[in-house]
Structure 1
Amino acid sequence: MSMQSNLDTLYRQVIMDHYKNPRNRGELDENDALTINMNNPSCGDRIQLHLQVENDQVVDAKFTGEGCSISLSSASMMTDTVKGKSIEEALEISGIFSEMVQGKEYDDEKYDLGDIEALQGVTKFPARIKCATLAWKAMEKGLDE
């Protein structure tokens, strides 16, 4: 089995783990959190993102929604990644993620992307990029407000 094949298998396992065992699934108290609703009409993915932001830092992040394994695992990974980050860092990581899934060069040395790198293969399937970026776009929208 080739090295690339082993890597693809590992990435699929990471994606399916986040899909079957999502991290941060649920809601936050609406009095303490921003709530952002986004959907992807081309495939029916829907996400409701809850962000608790204090002193320019993402204190907590949770999500609910329905969709494919790519969109829901990406939401799980994103919420895990941005918790504890400053707004600036969260938005910067989101930009790096967007470049990665579009197959562009990205700075992988500034931040440890961890499980997020498993979504790198989405670049081979342009229709799935919107699925992978849905939760990230919701996060950007919430933090920009």
Structure 2
Amino acid sequence: MSSQPIPTRVVLLAGPSGSGKSSLAARTGLPVLRLDDFYKEANDPTLPLVTGSTDIDWDSPSSWDADAALAAIAELCRSGRATVPVYDIATSSRVDVETLDTARTPLFVAEGIFAADLVGRCQEMGVLADALCLRGRPSTTFRRRLARDLREGRKSL
């Protein structure tokens, strides 16, 4: 009797910035794909702008590469390994790449504010284990986001 390998599936973890996605993902003990690493670089001409401004709208789904994120999820589910970007939000640039390995577990978490945008496509591919959305009080998520952004140099005061 041969044993079939258990297919790898993804748990998508969505929610607003500061809602606790990264903290929860880390606490699961599962491998984590950081969807924030798929943001476009600041010099990308396709980046959306805030209406009436020259500022980039980083909260727009057009500010990240959903197709590249989906390709990484598909590769992780298919082979258990994928080369993924490492993004520095403070400089709005990809600074490296790394190999994410999920081969020892049938689940991994993909977390980010745009994770909900991938639910249908992951479901169509047959790789979705679950999709969760975190939310809290707006004042709490704002406080967490501000503290993190200042601590990590994402934004100036």
Q: Could you say which TM-score interval applies, normalised by the shorter chain?
A: 0.3 to 0.5
In our comparison, the structure showing a higher alpha carbon Rg is 2
Q: If the length of structure 1 is used for normalisation, what is the TM-score? A: 0.34
Structure with higher strand content: 2
Q: If the length of structure 2 is used for normalisation, what is the TM-score? A: 0.32
Structure with higher helix content: 1
